[in-house]
Amino acid sequence: SDMAFGIRELAKRLAHIRLKMNVQHVFLLAKAHDATLIANTREVAHWLLTRDQHYKVYVEDTLEHNRVFDAEGLLASNHSFEGRLKFWTNKLCAEKPQTFDIVLALGGDGTVLYASWLFQRVVPPVLAFSLGSLGFLTKFDYDGFQNTLSRAFKEGITVSLRLRFEATVMRSQVHNGDSARDLVEQLIGEESEDNHTHKPDGTHNILNEVVVDRGPNPTMSTIELFGDDEHFTTIQADGICVSTPTGSTAYNLAAGGSLCHPDNPVVLVTAICAHTLSFRPIILPDTIVLRAGVPYDARTSSWASFDGRERVELRPGDYVTISASRFPFPSVLPLDRKSKDWVDSISRTLNWNSRQRQKSFKEWN
Amino acid sequence: SDMAFGIRELAKRLAHIRLKMNVQHVFLLAKAHDATLIANTREVAHWLLTRDQHYKVYVEDTLEHNRVFDAEGLLASNHSFEGRLKFWTNKLCAEKPQTFDIVLALGGDGTVLYASWLFQRVVPPVLAFSLGSLGFLTKFDYDGFQNTLSRAFKEGITVSLRLRFEATVMRSQVHNGDSARDLVEQLIGEESEDNHTHKPDGTHNILNEVVVDRGPNPTMSTIELFGDDEHFTTIQADGICVSTPTGSTAYNLAAGGSLCHPDNPVVLVTAICAHTLSFRPIILPDTIVLRAGVPYDARTSSWASFDGRERVELRPGDYVTISASRFPFPSVLPLDRKSKDWVDSISRTLNWNSRQRQKSFKEWN
Amino acid sequence: SDMAFGIRELAKRLAHIRLKMNVQHVFLLAKAHDATLIANTREVAHWLLTRDQHYKVYVEDTLEHNRVFDAEGLLASNHSFEGRLKFWTNKLCAEKPQTFDIVLALGGDGTVLYASWLFQRVVPPVLAFSLGSLGFLTKFDYDGFQNTLSRAFKEGITVSLRLRFEATVMRSQVHNGDSARDLVEQLIGEESEDNHTHKPDGTHNILNEVVVDRGPNPTMSTIELFGDDEHFTTIQADGICVSTPTGSTAYNLAAGGSLCHPDNPVVLVTAICAHTLSFRPIILPDTIVLRAGVPYDARTSSWASFDGRERVELRPGDYVTISASRFPFPSVLPLDRKSKDWVDSISRTLNWNSRQRQKSFKEWN
Amino acid sequence: SDMAFGIRELAKRLAHIRLKMNVQHVFLLAKAHDATLIANTREVAHWLLTRDQHYKVYVEDTLEHNRVFDAEGLLASNHSFEGRLKFWTNKLCAEKPQTFDIVLALGGDGTVLYASWLFQRVVPPVLAFSLGSLGFLTKFDYDGFQNTLSRAFKEGITVSLRLRFEATVMRSQVHNGDSARDLVEQLIGEESEDNHTHKPDGTHNILNEVVVDRGPNPTMSTIELFGDDEHFTTIQADGICVSTPTGSTAYNLAAGGSLCHPDNPVVLVTAICAHTLSFRPIILPDTIVLRAGVPYDARTSSWASFDGRERVELRPGDYVTISASRFPFPSVLPLDRKSKDWVDSISRTLNWNSRQRQKSFKEWN
């Protein structure tokens, strides 16, 4: 058992990886519909191109002819920039993610989620600048980005390998309305050897959570939940939220789940407005394979969404598998106070004050 | 990162250890004030003594002259029993726990907690028989104990190594009422190098939870919470519950915490009736060292309890450290359906029905 | 103040009205797509028509040519039935609700909600038979309906006057996208005298709850909440549920609200998955006028639903007013144990056992 | 039913009573161990005595020889003060509450609770000044008390009649340990006609809540809960909190209950850390008589406390009755914004911002 605890320590250390940087290809990411962010993107691009002539800077291809970004003007300002300002496409992210040494995200936590969406397989280290207050994933102030980047490129960075889920929609190959079929039988019963009952229909690597809910239906959803080869229970609720530790501060918290340190190798399953008294948030090992599906005799469809995007209809008989992804998300930690990073972000969010007492709402006595 | 996940798998497997049994010394445990349980203890002792003349059976020393147990009669019934019925004391458990090959507990989950209390350091594998309905830790029906034991001794057992905490009370060496002292300064500030501010006053290995609460005070407690070298926050609440995964279904659940699979290497921190809006249950890695203390300027003491026992007063300036124990608790898993054991026990407790739909309280539509 | 408490007692008594019955026109209600319920409807109609030749029985007009109901056969079976079997339409319910002496509902609580929907203004007393287990609003076993009805018609009935809400959708008369407009200003600020900012677009009398939520949007809603002439707060959540006491056991409970005795003159406001820590369920007097709206600068619409039906889109600038309706819902109480009725239904639903101890999930000690 | 709603309106208005003041006898209340508050008390006394020679001012008798208050000096400063500075005792409050035209409380909400404790029967109007931030019951800034009092005495005041509970401890007259006795039988069963089973042992009028809990026991309490002549359920929990609407923001909120407008004629029953899944906070009419008791076969006592004071042991067989008191608590409302008073205090406490958007903890999207 001493060995067991030694391995836990080891696992913890492996979740934080220190990287020396040999930066050449820098990927810039911002929501491209916001004029302020486009100006910021230009500012960072200009600084990088000026700083080192070996740097190549990639910006979103929609900026190529954007008036605010003014690529032409940028290139004209310094002839050494020629050939070093490049334009990325979604396709390039999908096919050649290894091209990039680092992703610099400008914006809020939503921009970091967008980075996770763009890089569905290998993800370059993501260093996120906040334009407003710091968030759970945006750990650097935009003000002073020059110092931050100079120091990071010189001293190296530490990344926290954040667990992502791989979620696959499985479509029932049975004619709709065949309510004699039984999802439980198909997945863990006598039919579980039959590979023809369902076909995959799209896989998503997600950083925060998979939600299966009632979507536009005014009535509740009925969801069958399976863990490995067990049928856990039938949930009657608005939906369920299956969250990574990183996502624990997002929808999971709104649904009543616990805050969870991102290094914990766990999966958080929380019902959304359960219509029974017998469900409580559950913390499972990240080695489990979860399946959440719509029973064949359900009166309505449910909807799956992935990191709050891409809502997909699940018809009766369909399900989603959720398991730990082989492609974690390397989030660059603050250069200082690395080990306190999580507590700092929790304190900011919950208005914890580590020195001053909080005002209690109970003033009595 | 593939390595990281490989290590997680490995850690998971190490939490379940398969043991061949070479049983000689069997420890019988039951609450000794219950006549039925004493009779059951006698029944098991008799069966063991009869079954194999190499077996030595240990029962609690209070049974030596107990009328129901009737040790004299037992010994008189078969002269081969002579010298093989022995009587254990708390001291023997504390000093020579390696004497015993296995602990057979008769009763409920409370009896298993009692086993954890008796064996504060190394714990022999504990196989628990329930006299009523099965619990989280009592996984075997008493009816049919003969078959269970025959099979376990022959085929071997699998134990789940349950995380325990080591909790130490630390007494302030400062005169009471010196409210100029500051616990935060002492523990993580400039005074943190000073080893003379506090002295240890008792260590407890616990299986379920450490609770620090207001005890007999009608008013709330103020508790300073530290994780490693960080001051997390000041909690104003009835108390806090720091729970192992095993304890997640006990007081932690009543206080609003999540259910947690026992293999997860985590610590659950839940406030009890928080008097602020800014505290939510938190899941931390089991590699953390937590400290929970009473500020020097608190108007009242708080109380610490360990697995629901041994309530200890914490005066202003005192604190408790809580960290993973080196001595986990080896709980014998059911001989069949081992991997489903947790889901089975959760289903029983929350009245999950894995085949039948639960009745929703919302009948509309 | 003695007077104040005397009035509370009086208000309580007025909520329970005892009625002598002089039954002539009986309204039968069941979901018409369920063959079993149609057969039951026929059974009750036949019994009523046979029992007293002054009774006129109204069934849904879709049954006129329904094969299972077989109106022709029913009429042919007894010539005294002629002219006494009638067919109701939604229009008749809306325009001449006074026609009916009593509504007999067959089904579950959903059927009673349907009665509330049909009778938007005056509601005849509703006596509800359950085909399965009893519910919050279905208080009579269908088995033995003959005895129930004989006794009710002879001895009279007691009705509980259940609070309904009147909810009106108010449409902004401003061009969409004019985000310079400010809903708070319009409703309680300088513009609040201006009656041209919004126009009513449909009123609903509801028995359970009004929900304003994110509908098919994957992101949260932003909702401005007003009480009388005060802006309470801006809620960021999946939505809000404004529930009557009757509805407290339905969606309100799923969203985390309290159980509420139906005689309480209150309104329950509960956020659905609030994304801030600062909202808790709130109990308000039923004399309040609530308004819940979508701010002009919201990125998405919200949706309003009324007793789980008729989902209506609320675009930025639209809102819903909610206040106590002048038309309460008279629910017939059980003939016996009238005063215990609520506790009985709560006990059934929450599995309270008023004699036997509940099994605690904490077995320790 | 129109009548029913008219009565609700009437009841609402009666809860707010406008009073002309003919002030002569002013009662000053502050916690007498705080030197600052004593100085404030002196300041108010001096101002009152100076302002009108018909005023008589009562301060706590412990101030008669207090050095900070310096009664002698005060009297010596102006010979017209003679005979007009008086000293109250607890006995005077208990026996002649009608002596006082108004109570001026200085401090926090705890001081207002203390006023409720002093005046167990009739309570004079209580106008509460806050020395720090305003609270739920302290609605006036101490700064500017002169203007507040001048205006109140001249224009009159509006009081909100806050519901109090009358709680009586009932002692079992049965020998302890007679576990064959059954509390349910005694209170609502065959023995309920027998008036000799219990004897009253003290009555308390309380403004916030009655709590029955496990007190110093580390284990949970078992509590039998009765409403009128019904046994509701057996609660296994740390305790239960029975709260007035005024108390809804105090311990009730910490235990998970709802916020409740003080004009609602209701009682809030909330379990504290329930150890079963089947209890949810319940809102009952204030016309109910609740009884909460310890079953005869309980292994431990429970403890009752009244507004957080006077913890009383309840041995097996004892219970507490709780019902609306005939003596409400007249709390003086702010001179302006009277009708908004509750929303204002809730907004302050929950950090609602009625104009500015709250920061969501979910930044995504």
| Phi, psi (rounded to 5 degrees) for A79 | -70, -15
**C281 interfaces chain B, CB cutoff of 8 Å:** no
DSSP letter string, B222-270: EEEEEETTEEEEEEEEEEEEEE-TGGGGTHHHHTTPPEE-TTS-EEEEE
Q: What angle do CA B260, B266, B268 make, to 5 degrees?
A: 65
Range of the domain at A252: 165-324
pLDDT at B343: 87
Is C341 a member of any domain? no
Q: Which chains touch D (3 or more CB pairs under 8 A)?
A: A, B, C
pLDDT at A357: 41
Considering the domain architecture, whether residues B35 and B73 belong to the same structural domain is answered as yes
Considering only CB atoms, A365 lies closest to which of D280, D308, D363, namely: D308
3-class SS of residue D24: coil
The residue out of A136, A162, A188 marking a domain boundary is: A162
A-chain residues within 8 Å CB-CB of B339? 228
Is D357 a member of any domain? no
**B110 interfaces chain C, CB cutoff of 8 Å:** yes
pLDDT at B145: 96
CA D37 to chain centre: 21
* Contact at CB, C364 and B250, closer than 8 angstroms: yes
* Residues B66-82, mean pLDDT to the nearest whole number: 94
Q: What angle do CA A263, A267, A271 make, to 5 degrees?
A: 135
Q: Contact at 8 Å (CB) between D121 and D46?
A: no
Dihedral angle sign, alpha carbons of residues B322, B324, B328, B334 = positive
Considering the domain architecture, whether residues A66 and A182 belong to the same structural domain is answered as no
| Phi, psi (rounded to 5 degrees) for B3 | -65, -45
Is A355 a member of any domain? no
What would the two tokens of residue C346 be?
């709560």
Range A52-78 burial, b when 16+ CB lie within 10 A, else e:
eeebbbbbbeebeebeebbbeebbeee
- The conformation of residue A245, written as its DSSP 8-state character, comes to T
C-chain residues within 8 Å CB-CB of D184? 354-355
Q: How confident is the model at residue A17 (pLDDT cuts 50, 70, 90)?
A: confident
Query: What's the whole-number average pLDDT of chain C?
Result: 89
pLDDT at B107: 93
D-chain residues within 8 Å CB-CB of A109? 363-364
Which residue intervals of B28-70 are DSSP H helices? 35-51
Considering the candidates B34, B61, B101, B109, report the single residue annotated as catalytic: B109
- The conformation of residue D294, written as its DSSP 8-state character, comes to -
Q: Which region, left, alpha or beta, applies to residue A99 given φ > 0 means left and ψ of -120 to 50 means alpha? A: alpha
Side-chain half-sphere of D231: how many Cα atoms within 13 Å?
22
**A218 interfaces chain C, CB cutoff of 8 Å:** yes
Considering the domain architecture, whether residues A147 and A218 belong to the same structural domain is answered as no
Considering the domain architecture, whether residues C244 and C214 belong to the same structural domain is answered as yes
Q: How confident is the model at residue A360 (pLDDT cuts 50, 70, 90)?
A: low
* Contact at CB, A365 and D251, closer than 8 angstroms: no
A-chain residues within 8 Å CB-CB of B351? 278
Compute the nearest-CA separation of D152 from chain C (Å): 22
Measure the CA–CA gap between C72 and C50, rounded to whole angstroms: 16
Q: Kindly report the length of chain B.
A: 365
**D114 interfaces chain C, CB cutoff of 8 Å:** no
Question: Which of A172-181, B193-202, D80-89 is predicted least confidently?
Answer: A172-181
Measure the CA–CA gap between D196 and D216, rounded to whole angstroms: 30
Q: Contact at 8 Å (CB) between D210 and D167?
A: yes
Is B359 a member of any domain? no
**A271 interfaces chain D, CB cutoff of 8 Å:** no
| Phi, psi (rounded to 5 degrees) for A239 | 165, -175
Task: Please give, one letter per residue, the 3-state secondary structure of B213-230.
Answer: ECCCCCCCEEEEEEECCE
Considering only CB atoms, A15 lies closest to which of B4, B184, B346, namely: B4
Q: Does residue A203 surpass a pLDDT of 60?
A: yes
The residue out of D306, D324, D342 marking a domain boundary is: D324
- The conformation of residue C301, written as its DSSP 8-state character, comes to -
Instruction: Give tens-digit pLDDT for B178-222.
Output: 557 889 989 988 778 887 899 999 999 999 999 999 998 888 899
Scanning the structure block, which residue is given the tokens 């020395």? D131
Question: Which of A61-65, A93-97, A358-362 is predicted least confidently?
Answer: A358-362
- The conformation of residue B278, written as its DSSP 8-state character, comes to S
Is B262 a member of any domain? yes
**C275 interfaces chain A, CB cutoff of 8 Å:** yes
Q: Does residue C129 surpass a pLDDT of 90?
A: yes
3-state percent helix, strand, coil for chain B, nearest multiple of 5: 30, 35, 40
Dihedral angle sign, alpha carbons of residues B308, B313, B316, B321 = negative
Compute the nearest-CA separation of B320 from chain A (Å): 19
* Residues C39-51, mean pLDDT to the nearest whole number: 96
Considering the domain architecture, whether residues A200 and A295 belong to the same structural domain is answered as yes
- 10 Å Cβ neighbour count for A308? 22
Measure the CA–CA gap between A279 and A241, rounded to whole angstroms: 13
- Name the closest residue on chain B to residue D270, using Cα atoms: B273
C-chain residues within 8 Å CB-CB of A274? 254
Look at residues B223, B85, B242, B108 and name the one whose alpha carbon lies nearest to residue B166: B242
**D179 interfaces chain C, CB cutoff of 8 Å:** no
Measure the CA–CA gap between D103 and D25, rounded to whole angstroms: 9
Compute the nearest-CA separation of B168 from chain A (Å): 20
The residues facing A285 across adjacent strands are A266
- Name the closest residue on chain D to residue B252, using Cα atoms: D273
pLDDT at D179: 57
Query: What's the whole-number average pLDDT of chain B?
Result: 89
Considering the domain architecture, whether residues A142 and A128 belong to the same structural domain is answered as yes
* Contact at CB, B364 and C110, closer than 8 angstroms: yes
**D251 interfaces chain A, CB cutoff of 8 Å:** yes
Which is it for strands A221-227 and A230-243: parallel, antiparallel or unpaired? antiparallel
Measure the CA–CA gap between B324 and A342, rounded to whole angstroms: 20
Q: Which of residues 309-338 of A touch B (CB under 8 A)?
A: 324, 326-328
Q: How confident is the model at residue A22 (pLDDT cuts 50, 70, 90)?
A: confident
Q: Contact at 8 Å (CB) between C57 and C49?
A: yes
pLDDT at A356: 40
* Contact at CB, C12 and D285, closer than 8 angstroms: yes
* Contact at CB, D135 and A254, closer than 8 angstroms: no
Considering the domain architecture, whether residues A197 and A308 belong to the same structural domain is answered as yes
* Contact at CB, B277 and A360, closer than 8 angstroms: no
What CATH number does residue D261 fall under?
2.60.200.30
Is A185 a member of any domain? yes
Is D46 a member of any domain? yes
- Name the closest residue on chain A to residue B3, using Cα atoms: A14
Measure the CA–CA gap between B317 and D224, rounded to whole angstroms: 39
Considering the domain architecture, whether residues A235 and A280 belong to the same structural domain is answered as yes
* Residues C258-280, mean pLDDT to the nearest whole number: 93
Question: Which of A43-47, A71-75, A111-115, B361-365 is predicted least confidently?
Answer: B361-365
Question: In angstroms, how far is the first alpha carbon of chain B from the final one?
Answer: 48
Q: Contact at 8 Å (CB) between A113 and A102?
A: no
Measure the CA–CA gap between D284 and D273, rounded to whole angstroms: 20
- The conformation of residue C258, written as its DSSP 8-state character, comes to P
Instruction: Give tens-digit pLDDT for A237-254.
Output: 999 999 999 999 999 999
Considering the domain architecture, whether residues D88 and D218 belong to the same structural domain is answered as no
Compute the nearest-CA separation of A278 from chain D (Å): 6
Instruction: Give tens-digit pLDDT for C308-358.
Output: 987 899 999 999 999 999 999 999 999 887 778 888 888 887 777 654 444
pLDDT at C82: 93
Instruction: Give tens-digit pLDDT for D221-242.
Output: 999 999 998 999 999 999 999 9
B-chain residues within 8 Å CB-CB of A3? 14
- Provide the residue type at A319 as one letter: Y
Q: Which chains touch C (3 or more CB pairs under 8 A)?
A: A, B, D
Q: Does residue B286 surpass a pLDDT of 70?
A: yes
**C278 interfaces chain B, CB cutoff of 8 Å:** yes
Q: Which chains touch B (3 or more CB pairs under 8 A)?
A: A, C, D
Q: How confident is the model at residue A180 (pLDDT cuts 50, 70, 90)?
A: confident
B115: enclosing H helix or E strand:
helix B109-118
Which of D208, D221, D238 is the mutation pick for testing B, counting most B CBs within 10 A?
D238
What CATH number does residue C8 fall under?
3.40.50.10330
Q: Contact at 8 Å (CB) between B319 and B296?
A: no
**B348 interfaces chain C, CB cutoff of 8 Å:** no
Q: State how many domains chain D has.
A: 2
Question: Which of B168-177, C192-201, D57-66 is predicted least confidently?
Answer: B168-177
Q: Does residue C278 surpass a pLDDT of 60?
A: yes
The residue out of B162, B187, B216 marking a domain boundary is: B162
Q: Contact at 8 Å (CB) between A318 and A169?
A: yes
Measure the CA–CA gap between B92 and B61, rounded to whole angstroms: 11
Measure the CA–CA gap between A142 and A144, rounded to whole angstroms: 6
Considering the domain architecture, whether residues D130 and D226 belong to the same structural domain is answered as no
Q: Does residue A69 surpass a pLDDT of 50?
A: yes
Largest CA distance in chain A: 73
Complex-level ipTM: 0.92
* Contact at CB, A237 and C255, closer than 8 angstroms: no
Considering the domain architecture, whether residues D89 and D7 belong to the same structural domain is answered as yes
What would the two tokens of residue B289 be?
């060292």
* Residues D44-62, mean pLDDT to the nearest whole number: 96
Of B7 and D292, which is predicted with more confidence? Answer: D292
What would the two tokens of residue D162 be?
């806050």
Which is it for strands B282-285 and A259-260: parallel, antiparallel or unpaired? parallel
Considering the domain architecture, whether residues C238 and C252 belong to the same structural domain is answered as yes
| Phi, psi (rounded to 5 degrees) for D14 | -65, -20
Query: If 0-12 CB within 10 Å is exposed, 13-18 middle and 19+ buried, where does residue C199 land?
Result: exposed
Which range scores top for mean pLDDT: B336-345, C10-19, C128-137, D120-129?
D120-129
Question: In angstroms, how far is the first alpha carbon of chain D from the final one?
Answer: 48
Share of chain D above pLDDT 70, in %: 92
Q: How confident is the model at residue A363 (pLDDT cuts 50, 70, 90)?
A: very low
Is A126 a member of any domain? yes
Q: Does residue C32 surpass a pLDDT of 50?
A: yes
**C268 interfaces chain D, CB cutoff of 8 Å:** yes
Measure the CA–CA gap between B174 and D200, rounded to whole angstroms: 47
Query: If 0-12 CB within 10 Å is exposed, 13-18 middle and 19+ buried, where does residue C71 land?
Result: middle
